[in-house]
Amino acid sequence: MRSIKKLLLIFTVFSLISCQEKSCCKAEKEETKTLSATAKAIEQYKLNFEWQKGYEMWSKVPCAEDYHMVAPNLNLEATGAQEIEDIIFGFVSETELKQELVDIVELGNYVICFLKLTTKAGETFDGVEVFLLNEKGEVSKIWAL
């Protein structure tokens, strides 16, 4: 009976050490995540976002010619650079929308941004933007949720 308890203790210690090592390695991997060039451009846009220069800053992100954006909760939809500048960034300017990037994740050809948003009226809410990248690495679709 005593040897069984001893084996159990050794097994428990070994398991704890093994779990700690796995957690450590997982944390290291998360810290060293790499983003594609387009995801990095989106990240820089979000980190340096100023509503007054919204479209000017956004235009540095590679986009397909006919990219499409939809923001269903705001009842906004636009296709192509001109409509996105007029409709989407018109809304951003009108509301003086501030964005704070909380996190960015890239999974396959999707880039997901988690945001804290604030309007000039002081309303704050959480938002998620999902960017679909085409085979050239250009943004082809955006969902603002």
Q: 14-27, pLDDT tens digit by residue? A: 454 554 444 444 44
One pLDDT digit (tens) per residue for the chain, 145 residues: 555 444 444 444 445 455 444 444 444 444 457 999 999 999 999 999 998 998 999 999 999 999 999 999 999 999 999 999 999 999 999 999 999 999 999 999 999 999 999 999 999 999 999 999 999 999 999 999 9
Q: What are phi and psi of 95, to 5 degrees?
A: -95, -5
Classify the phi-psi angles of 28: left when phi > 0, otherwise alpha if psi is within -120 to 50, otherwise beta: alpha
Distance between CA 46 and CA 44 in Å, rounded? Answer: 5
Please report, as a single letter, which amino acid is at residue 111.
V
Q: Which residues does 76 contact at the CB level (< 8 Å), separation at least 6?
A: 69, 70, 87, 88, 91, 144
Q: Mind listing the pLDDT tens digit for each residue in 95-109?
A: 999 999 999 999 999
Q: Are 142 and 67 in contact (CB under 8 A)?
A: yes
